[in-house]
């Protein structure tokens, strides 16, 4: 995510568009999103529903009734965005708003409104790894969602940061509610404490009085100087050495077990071949930032070969399973994060989730370990602002 005021990240453009393309069956133009404030905090809550209107491809925001408002043209330097804040529920109360067919984010903040600006390229989102970001000292978080004719996908994400706790859910036509994102009792403080004890306390951003606001994801933490840029180098080097003399087999599609690719390192490059022995894609040895961000040397285009292999490699590096299992992806979560050199941020968050699921890095959905709810015929969506404990 770019630094505030330097470049724009348009809502929706950088997000995962969950699920298949819309089906021919029409879905409601909006569904209710009920937000419950169980946080125990007394500050006012502000809610924002920002994203891409799927019918038109336009960027904008939705008001409490689900009505879409396109962003006006921004400027350079960035100009203030229209105030899209919806007053959220008071402590112990609920508030229901309407979600339109969007791919976007539902932000929420405590105590004060977030600052959004517009450049000529679109909306500039908060980038709190930048110390000059105007949202740096605001307590906030967000969920990502897509609602289209094939249903609702809504997640609890920690890809960018771990902050104000919340859970999400969706109601089926039969009245059943599926939830995810809820921390174990004491889990919020346990994540911060675990980061400090493992030497990753530099990821934590606090208010001047010492109150934690968030923990940056390790990629953003490298950018902000919170952890060393080479923190994963030892593991990366061991992986490259191991597969210089043995083969890493990737089976990227669970429903296509016969589709396999075979990786061997030659020099600084891991080449992957198909069943005929032809090289289908190659990867330069990644750095730590590439591993945490699943980009740069581990770029994952939306194609049928390189992207799926890269996703699998990224998951194996973050979960430190590439040395313990030469057949990837590894399905056994009991073996994740066991190496001393691993993504401790993701490890700690998963360990404190009630259902064990989280989006600790971009491709945590490899093997379905992500905190995501999908409902094909959603009657209602839910977001619960959870206690800070």
In the annotation, is 234 catalytic?
Answer: no
Give CA–CA dist 290/198, Å, rounded: 21
What is the SS3 assignment for 155? Answer: strand
Nearest to 161 by CA among 179, 139, 182, 133: 139
For residue 116 the two structure tokens come to 């959004």
| Residue 2: Cβ within 10 Å count | 14
Contact 134, 4 (CB under 8 A): yes
Give CA–CA dist 212/188, Å, rounded: 10
Give CA–CA dist 372/357, Å, rounded: 8
In the annotation, is 386 catalytic?
Answer: no
Tell me phi and psi for residue 383, to 5 degrees: -140, 125
From the number of C-beta atoms within 10 Å of its C-beta (0-12, 13-18, 19+), residue 139 rates as buried
From the number of C-beta atoms within 10 Å of its C-beta (0-12, 13-18, 19+), residue 145 rates as buried
Catalytic, out of 43, 133, 137, 144:
144
Catalytic, out of 25, 43, 160, 380:
160
For residue 378 the two structure tokens come to 């959603």
Element (DSSP H or E) covering residue 213:
strand 212-216
From the number of C-beta atoms within 10 Å of its C-beta (0-12, 13-18, 19+), residue 257 rates as exposed
Those residues whose C-beta lies under 8 Å from the C-beta of residue 35, and which sit 6 or more positions away, are 47, 88, 89, 94, 95, 96, 97, 108, 382, 383, 384, 385
Give CA–CA dist 99/324, Å, rounded: 44
Task: Give the gyration radius of the chain's Cα atoms.
Answer: 21
Known catalytic residues are 144, 160
């Amino acid at each position: 995510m770019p630094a505030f005021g330097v470049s724009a990240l348009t809502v929706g453009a950088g997000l995962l568009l969950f699920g298949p393309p819309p089906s021919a069956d029409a879905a409601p133009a909006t569904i209710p999103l009920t937000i419950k404030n169980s946080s125990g905090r007394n500050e006012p809550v502000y809610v924002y529903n920002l994203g891409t209107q799927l019918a038109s491809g336009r960027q904008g925001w939705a008001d409490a009734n689900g009505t879409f408002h396109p962003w006006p043209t921004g400027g350079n330097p960035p100009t203030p965005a229209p105030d899209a804040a919806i007053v959220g529920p008071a402590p112990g109360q609920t508030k229901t708003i309407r979600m339109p067919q969007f791919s976007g984010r539902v932000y929420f903040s405590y105590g004060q409104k977030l600052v959004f600006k517009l450049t000529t390229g679109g909306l500039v989102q908060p980038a709190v790894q930048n110390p000059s970001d105007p949202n740096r000292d605001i307590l906030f978080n967000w969920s990502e969602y897509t609602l289209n004719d094939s249903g609702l996908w809504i997640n609890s994400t920690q890809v960018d940061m771990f902050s104000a706790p919340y859970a999400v859910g969706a109601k089926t036509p039969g009245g059943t509610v599926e939830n995810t994102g809820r921390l174990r009792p004491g889990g919020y403080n346990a994540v911060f404490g675990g980061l400090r004890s493992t030497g990753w306390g530099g990821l934590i951003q606090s208010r001047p009085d010492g109150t934690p606001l968030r923990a940056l994801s390790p990629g953003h933490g490298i950018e902000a100087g919170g952890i060393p840029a080479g923190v994963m180098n030892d593991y990366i080097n061991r992986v490259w050495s191991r597969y210089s003399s043995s083969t890493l087999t990737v089976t990227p599609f669970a429903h296509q077990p016969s589709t396999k690719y075979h990786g061997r390192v030659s020099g600084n490059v891991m080449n992957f071949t198909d069943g005929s022995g032809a090289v289908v894609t190659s990867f330069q040895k990644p750095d730590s930032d590439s591993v945490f961000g699943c980009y740069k040397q581990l770029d994952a285009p939306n194609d049928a070969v390189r992207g799926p292999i890269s996703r699998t490699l990224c998951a194996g590096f973050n979960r430190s399973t590439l040395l313990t299992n030469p057949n990837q992806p590894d399905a056994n979560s009991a073996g994740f994060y066991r190496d001393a050199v691993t993504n401790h941020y993701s490890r700690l968050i998963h360990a404190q989730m009630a259902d064990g699921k989280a989006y600790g890095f971009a491709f945590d959905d490899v093997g379905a370990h992500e905190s995501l709810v999908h409902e094909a015929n959603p009657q209602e969506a839910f977001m619960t602002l959870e206690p800070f404990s």
